[in-house]
C-alpha cells in the first residue's frame, strides 16, 4: 500500500515537473517571439537565444522519456548549444533573422543537428549498452517521434476543448475563457503546459511508443513498393525520366521515392536479429536495397540536367546533398545484400553510422564551408558573365530577396555590369522589377503582351501626376504586373470630368512618415464614383486592393468630378486624419469613414 502511494506521488511529481517545463517553454517561446526582438539590437544574439531556447525545450522533452528528468536536464544542453551556435553562425549570411527563418533547408539542418544525436545519447547513457546499440537507437528514435507527435495531437485536442467550452459558456454570456485567452502570454504557456502533461501521461503508458505496430504497417508496403519501383526502373530506358514524370520535377520525385525506399528497407531489416522480415517481404526488402542506388543515381542525373540548364540554387544544392546521401545509403544497402546471408545485420550497422554522417552534413550546411547562398549567387553571376544566362533568364528576384547578403552582393555586381551590356535597357528594367515586385510570381510573370504594354503607355500619357515633378516616379507606383488594375485605371481616366479632364490623378506625397520615401494614392472614377488605390512602395511594396476613398458623406457624381479636378490642380493639404485610432503597441486600427 505504501509502495503504491509512493508510486502515485512520483507520477504526480513527474507530471507537475513536465507540465511546468512545458509551460515555461511556451512562455519562453512567446517572449522570444513577441518581446525579445525589441530588446536585443544584435540579430545574432537574438538568433542564438531563440535557437537555444527552442532546441533545449525540444531536446529535453524528447530525452525525458528514455532518461530520468534529472539526467535529461544537463544532457539536453549539448545538442541545443551546438545547434544554436551553428545557426547563429549561419545567420551571418543574412541581414535579418526573418531572412534566416525563411530558408527551409537551413532550419531543417538546425533541427537535424539538435534531434539526430538524441537517440545516440539515450543509448550511451543506458548501463551496459554501447552508444551505437542499434536496437536501442531504433526503439528510442521511434519513441521520440511518437511521443512528440502524440503530444502535439493532444495540444490540438485540448485547444478544441477550450474553444468548445468558450462557445458553450458564451451561450449564457460568460466570457471568462475568452478573457483569459486574450492575455498575451497565456495561450503559448497553456500549449506548453498541455504538451508537458501529455508527455508525462505517454511515459506512464508502457508500450505506447513501441515500434511494433509501425513495423507491421510499413512492412505491408514493402512488396508493393518493390513491384512499383521495379516496373519504373524497367520503363526508364524505354521512356525516359521526363516522360514518366510529366510536369513534376523528376529529381524531387525520385528523391522522395528514394527516401521512402530507405525507410522500407530499414523496416524490413528490423531492430535486431530475429525481428527482420520473412518470406516474400524479406526478398522484396532486399530487392529494394539493390534498386536504391539506381533510383538515387537517376535523381542525381535529373538534378544535374536541371542545374546545367538553370544553375545552382540552395534547394538544388540541398537536393544534390540528399541525392548523394541516398546514393551512399544505396551502395551500403546493396553491398550488405550482395555479401550474402546476414544482410539485415550489416544493414543495421550501416544505419548506425549513417546517422552520424547525417549530423555531420547538417552541421556543415550551417558553416561557411557549405554556404548554399554564396555558392548559388556566385554560380548565377558566373553564368551571367560568360553568357550562359541572359538578361531574361538570370534570377534577379532570388538574388535580391532569397539569397541573403551573398545574393545582394552579386546583384550589385550585375548592376555594375549593366553599363554597356547588349541588353542594358531590358536588364535595368528587370532590376527595377526585382526591387518592386511583391513576390516571385509577379517578378517572373510581368505582362509583356502588346495590349497590356499599350494600355500602360496610354495610362502614363493620360494620368496627371501631382506634384508634376513626381511624374518620373510613375513606374514606381503603377507597376506592370497589375494588368487588371491598369485596365480599371485606364477606364477611369477615359471617363472625363464635366470640363473634359481625365477622370484620374496620381497624388504622390509622404503620407506615412515612418516609411522611407513617398507613398501615393491613385484616384480614379469608377462608374462615376470616386475610388482609389493606396500604394506603399517601401520598405516592401504593398497596395490596398481596390481601397475605397472614404469620406463623410461620400461624394456624389458631380462632386467626384470637382474633387478630381481640384486634386489635379494641387488644391489639397496633407496632414493627420480627422479620426481617432485604436493603438496597440506599434499598430493602429481605424474605422474606414
Position 350 scores a pLDDT of 93
Q: Considering just the CA atoms, what is the radius of gyration of the chain in Å?
A: 31
Which residues have C-beta within 8 Å of that of residue 168, sequence separation ≥ 6? none
The total of other beta-carbon atoms located within 10 Å of residue 207's CB is 7
Position 214 scores a pLDDT of 73
Query: Mean pLDDT across the stretch 88-112?
Result: 92
Per-residue pLDDT of 540-578, as tens digits, reads 556 654 444 555 556 777 888 888 899 898 888 877 766
- Rounded CA-CA distance 51/56 in Å is 8
- The yes-or-no verdict on residue 288 having pLDDT over 50 is yes
Query: Mean pLDDT across the stretch 298-312?
Result: 88
Per-residue pLDDT of 240-283, as tens digits, reads 655 655 555 688 888 999 999 999 999 988 888 877 888 899 99
| Maximum average pLDDT range among 70-79, 354-363, 384-393 | 354-363
Query: Mean pLDDT across the stretch 496-516?
Result: 86
Which letter does DSSP use for residue 74 in this model?
H
**181: pLDDT confidence band, cut at 50, 70 and 90?**
confident
Distance of CA 424 to the CA centre of its chain: 34
The total of other beta-carbon atoms located within 10 Å of residue 172's CB is 7
Position 78 scores a pLDDT of 93
Q: Which three cell numbers stand for residue 6?
A: 509512493
Position 228 scores a pLDDT of 92
Q: Residues of the chain with pLDDT > 90: what percent?
A: 33
- The yes-or-no verdict on residue 405 having pLDDT over 80 is yes
Query: Mean pLDDT across the stretch 90-95?
Result: 92
Could you give phi then psi for residue 35, rounded to 5 degrees? -120, -40
Query: Mean pLDDT across the stretch 217-222?
Result: 88
Position 593 scores a pLDDT of 46
List the strands of the sheet with 542-543, edge to edge.
Answer: 465-466, 504-509, 519-526, 529-536, 542-543
Position 546 scores a pLDDT of 40
DSSP string, 507-561: EEE---TTSSS-EEEEEEEETTEEEEEEEE-SSS-EE-TT-B---SSPP-HHHHH
Q: What is the mean pLDDT of the chain?
A: 84
- Rounded CA-CA distance 149/155 in Å is 10
Position 547 scores a pLDDT of 45
- The yes-or-no verdict on residue 79 having pLDDT over 70 is yes
Which residues have C-beta within 8 Å of that of residue 210, sequence separation ≥ 6? 139, 142
582-584 vs 542-543, strand pairing mode: unpaired
**156-165, 169-178, 224-233: which range is least confident on average?**
169-178
**484: pLDDT confidence band, cut at 50, 70 and 90?**
low
- The answer to whether the CB of 67 falls within 8 A of the CB of 122 is yes
Angle (CA) 378-328-144 rounded to 5° is 95
- The yes-or-no verdict on residue 32 having pLDDT over 90 is no
Per-residue pLDDT of 35-65, as tens digits, reads 777 777 788 898 999 899 889 988 888 888 7
Query: Mean pLDDT across the stretch 433-437?
Result: 80
Query: Mean pLDDT across the stretch 434-454?
Result: 78
- The yes-or-no verdict on residue 386 having pLDDT over 50 is yes
Hey, is 578 helix, strand or coil? coil
- The yes-or-no verdict on residue 16 having pLDDT over 80 is yes
Amino acid at each position: 500500500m505504501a509502495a503504491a502511494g509512493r508510486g502515485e506521488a512520483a507520477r504526480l511529481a513527474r507530471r507537475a515537473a513536465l507540465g511546468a517545463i512545458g509551460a515555461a517553454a511556451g512562455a519562453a517561446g512567446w517572449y522570444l517571439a513577441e518581446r525579445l526582438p525589441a530588446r536585443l539590437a544584435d540579430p545574432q544574439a537574438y538568433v542564438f537565444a531563440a535557437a537555444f531556447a527552442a532546441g533545449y525545450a525540444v531536446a529535453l522533452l524528447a530525452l525525458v522519456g528514455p532518461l530520468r528528468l534529472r539526467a535529461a536536464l544537463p544532457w539536453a544542453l549539448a545538442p541545443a548549444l551546438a545547434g544554436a551556435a551553428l545557426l547563429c553562425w549561419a545567420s551571418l549570411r543574412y541581414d535579418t533573422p526573418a531572412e534566416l527563418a525563411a530558408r527551409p533547408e537551413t532550419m531543417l539542418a538546425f533541427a537535424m543537428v539538435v534531434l539526430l544525436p538524441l537517440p545516440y545519447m539515450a543509448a550511451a547513457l543506458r548501463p551496459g549498452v554501447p552508444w551505437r546499440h542499434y536496437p536501442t537507437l531504433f526503439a528510442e528514435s521511434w519513441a521520440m517521434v511518437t511521443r512528440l507527435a502524440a503530444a502535439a495531437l493532444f495540444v490540438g485536442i485540448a485547444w478544441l476543448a477550450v474553444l468548445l467550452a468558450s462557445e458553450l459558456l458564451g451561450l449564457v454570456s460568460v466570457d471568462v475563457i475568452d478573457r483569459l485567452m486574450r492575455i498575451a502570454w497565456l495561450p503559448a504557456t497553456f500549449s506548453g503546459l498541455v504538451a508537458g502533461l501529455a508527455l508525462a501521461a505517454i511515459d506512464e503508458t508502457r508500450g505506447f511508443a513501441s515500434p511494433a505496430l509501425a513495423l507491421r504497417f510499413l512492412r505491408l508496403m514493402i512488396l508493393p513498393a518493390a513491384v512499383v519501383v521495379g516496373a519504373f526502373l524497367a520503363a526508364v530506358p524505354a521512356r525516359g525520366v521526363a516522360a514518366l514524370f510529366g510536369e513534376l520535377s523528376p529529381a524531387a520525385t525520385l528523391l522522395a521515392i528514394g527516401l521512402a525506399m530507405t525507410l522500407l528497407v530499414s523496416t524490413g531489416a528490423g531492430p535486431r536479429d530475429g525481428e527482420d522480415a520473412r518470406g516474400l517481404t524479406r526478398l522484396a526488402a532486399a530487392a529494394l536495397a539493390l534498386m536504391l542506388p539506381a533510383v538515387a543515381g537517376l535523381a542525381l542525373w535529373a538534378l544535374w540536367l536541371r542545374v546545367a540548364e538553370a544553375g545552382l540554387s540552395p534547394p538544388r544544392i540541398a537536393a544534390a546533398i540528399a541525392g548523394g546521401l541516398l546514393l551512399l545509403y544505396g551502395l551500403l544497402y546493396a553491398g550488405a545484400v550482395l555479401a550474402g546471408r546476414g544482410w539485415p545485420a550489416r544493414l543495421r550497422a550501416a544505419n548506425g553510422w549513417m546517422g552520424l554522417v547525417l549530423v555531420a552534413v547538417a552541421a556543415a550546411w550551417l558553416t561557411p564551408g557549405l554556404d548554399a547562398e554564396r555558392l548559388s549567387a556566385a554560380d548565377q553571376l558566373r553564368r551571367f558573365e560568360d553568357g550562359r544566362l541572359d538578361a531574361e533568364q538570370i534570377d534577379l528576384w532570388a538574388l535580391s530577396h532569397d539569397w541573403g547578403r551573398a545574393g545582394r552582393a552579386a546583384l550589385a555586381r550585375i548592376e555594375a555590369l549593366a553599363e554597356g551590356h547588349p541588353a542594358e535597357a531590358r536588364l535595368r528594367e528587370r532590376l527595377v522589377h526585382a526591387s518592386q515586385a511583391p513576390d516571385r510570381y509577379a517578378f517572373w510573370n510581368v505582362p509583356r503582351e502588346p495590349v497590356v504594354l499599350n494600355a500602360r503607355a496610354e495610362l502614363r500619357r493620360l494620368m496627371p501626376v501631382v506634384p508634376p515633378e513626381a511624374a518620373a516616379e510613375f513606374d514606381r507606383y503603377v507597376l506592370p504586373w497589375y494588368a487588371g488594375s491598369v485596365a480599371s485605371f485606364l477606364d477611369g481616366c477615359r471617363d472625363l470630368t464635366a470640363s473634359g479632364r481625365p477622370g484620374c490623378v496620381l497624388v504622390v506625397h509622404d503620407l506615412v512618415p515612418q516609411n522611407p520615401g513617398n507613398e501615393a494614392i491613385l484616384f480614379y472614377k469608377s462608374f462615376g464614383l470616386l475610388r482609389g488605390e493606396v500604394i506603399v512602395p517601401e520598405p516592401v511594396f504593398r497596395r490596398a486592393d481596390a481601397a475605397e476613398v472614404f469620406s463623410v458623406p461620400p461624394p456624389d457624381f458631380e462632386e467626384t468630378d470637382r474633387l478630381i479636378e481640384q486634386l489635379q490642380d494641387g488644391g489639397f493639404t496633407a496632414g493627420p486624419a480627422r479620426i481617432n485610432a485604436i493603438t496597440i503597441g506599434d499598430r493602429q486600427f481605424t474605422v474606414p469613414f
